[in-house]
Amino acid sequence: MSLPSDFLWGFATASFQIEGATKQDGRGPSIWDTFCAVPGKIAHGANGDIACDSYNRTAEDIELLKKLGSKCYRFSLSWSRIIPLGGRNDPINQKGLDHYVKFVDDLLEAGITPFITLYHWDLPDELDKRYGGLLNRTEFPLDFENYARVVFKAIPKCKNWITFNEPWCSSILAYSTGFFAPGHTSDRKKSPIGDSSREPWIAGHNLLVAHGRAVKVYREEFKPNDKGQIGITLNGDYTYPWDPEDPADVEACNRKIEFAISWFADPIYFGKYPDSMLKQLGDRLPTFTDEERGLVQGSNDFYGMNHYTADYVKHKTGTAPEDDFLGNLETMSYNKAGDCIGPETQSFWLRPNPEGFRALINWLSKRYGYPPIYVTENGTSIKGENDLPKDDILKDGFRTKYFHDYAHALADAVSKDGCNVKGYMAWSLMDNFEWAEGYETRFGCCHVDYENGQVRTPKESAKKMKPLFDSLIAKS
C-alpha cells in the first residue's frame, strides 16, 4: 500500500465538452459556441450543442460515478450558464446557478467529493465582444472575481475549488496558434486578428491576476466559514534531453518546463516570472504592479496538476522568433540514440511515458516546496479508437495499461520520494467533445454512443480503476 488512506481518486470532465444544452434554461453563448460556428475550425464541423447531454443527465452521471466507485469528481461550471452576458453588472441566470447547486447536493448525497473548476476555457462570448475578453487587464479580472463570488456564495458545500484550467492553453492555443477559441494568431491565413508575439503573454498575465482576485475573495469572504481550499490547475510535460551529453539540451529541458508551467507557478509561489522567460521575451512579458503581485503571490492552497506525456528536447541556436512560446527549442519523440519516448496515440502530442510522470511530480515538489498536489487530469487517447466497432472500443487495454503504469508511478513519487500527492482524477469520465478535434478523438473511460442517445457504457479502463486504487491506497 503506497498511498495514504485519505487519498481521493475519481474522474474529471469540463462543461463545454459534456453538457450540451447550449441554449437551454437561459444559457448564453460562450466563445466556443462562436468558434465552432466558424467553418474549418472543428473537425467534421462538430459543435457542443448536444455533446454528452450531461446537463440533462446529471442523475445518470452520478449513478455512473457510484457504479465505478469514484471517490471524487472534478467538473467545471459554464460561466455563461450562470451569468449569460458574463459581466459584473449583468443579470444572474438563477436556473443555471440552481442546476449546479443541486448537482453538488446530489454528488455529496452519493458520497462523492466535488472539485469545481470555475473556468475551463469557455468565456462568455459577450465579454470577448465587449472588451476583448482575456486581453483586458482591468475588466476581465474584475468580472471573473464577481462570477467567482456569485458561485462561492451559492455553493458553500463545495470545499475544493480550482480557478482556471490550464491557462497555458487559454493563452497559447487561443492567442498564439489560433487553434482554440477565440482563435487569435498572427497567421493571417487562419485569422484576421491576433498578435502571436504579444497577446498570449498578456492573456496569461490577466489570467494570473484574475486567479489572485478570486482566491482573495474566497479566503476573505468564504473560507473562514466554508473551510474549503482553492488553487489553480497547470499543465505541462516532462522533458528529457535529446542528447544527454549536451549541456545546452539539458538546460533546454528545464526551460521547456519553465515556459509551460513556471510561467504561472513562479508568480504564484515566488512573485515573479522565470528568468528564462524574462530573458527571451523582454518587455513582451507584462510587469506585475505591486497590487497584482500582492494578489498573485501565495495564492495557492494546493497545486492542480494536469499531465499526460513527455518529450525529448533539443535546444536551438540563434535568436528565437517572436512567435516562439516553447523557449527556443524543439520537442521530438526520439532521442539522439534512437530511443522512443512512448507509443503513438490518436493525439499527435501524446505518447505514454509513466517515468516522466513521477519525475515531474518530483520536479514540481522540489521547486515549489512540496505543496499538496492534486492530479486533476491524466489519461490517454488510443490511435484509431473512434474507427473501431463498439465492442472493441470497450476493450481499451492500452488505456487500462496507461492508468496502471501512471498510478504506480504516482504511488512511487509519494511512498519512495516523499511527494505530497493527495488525489488523482482520470481524464475523462466519458468520451466527449475534444475541442478542435471534435468527436474524432476519444479520451473517455466510458464509451458514449453519440448516434444513439448519448448512452454511456463503461470500458475496461473504467471497470479496473477501483481495483487499481484499492491495491495502492492504505486501508484506514
Report the catalytic residues. 166, 377
| 444-457 burial code (b ≥16 CB/10 A, e <16) | bbbbbebeeebebb
Q: What is the dihedral of CA 290, 296, 299, 305, to 10 degrees?
A: -160
Backbone angles phi, psi at 199, to 5 degrees: -60, -40
Angle between helices 199-217 and 263-270 (to 10 degrees): 40
Distance CA 304, CA 298 (A): 14
What is the CA angle 347-17-395, rounded to 5?
A: 55
Backbone angles phi, psi at 230, to 5 degrees: -145, 140
Q: What is the dihedral of CA 276, 279, 283, 286, to 10 degrees?
A: 20
Distance CA 3, CA 11 (A): 18
| 296-333 burial code (b ≥16 CB/10 A, e <16) | bbebbbbbbbbbbbbbbbbbeeeeeeeebbbbbbebeb
Backbone angles phi, psi at 329, to 5 degrees: -155, 170
Is cis: bond before 428, omega within 30 of 0?
yes
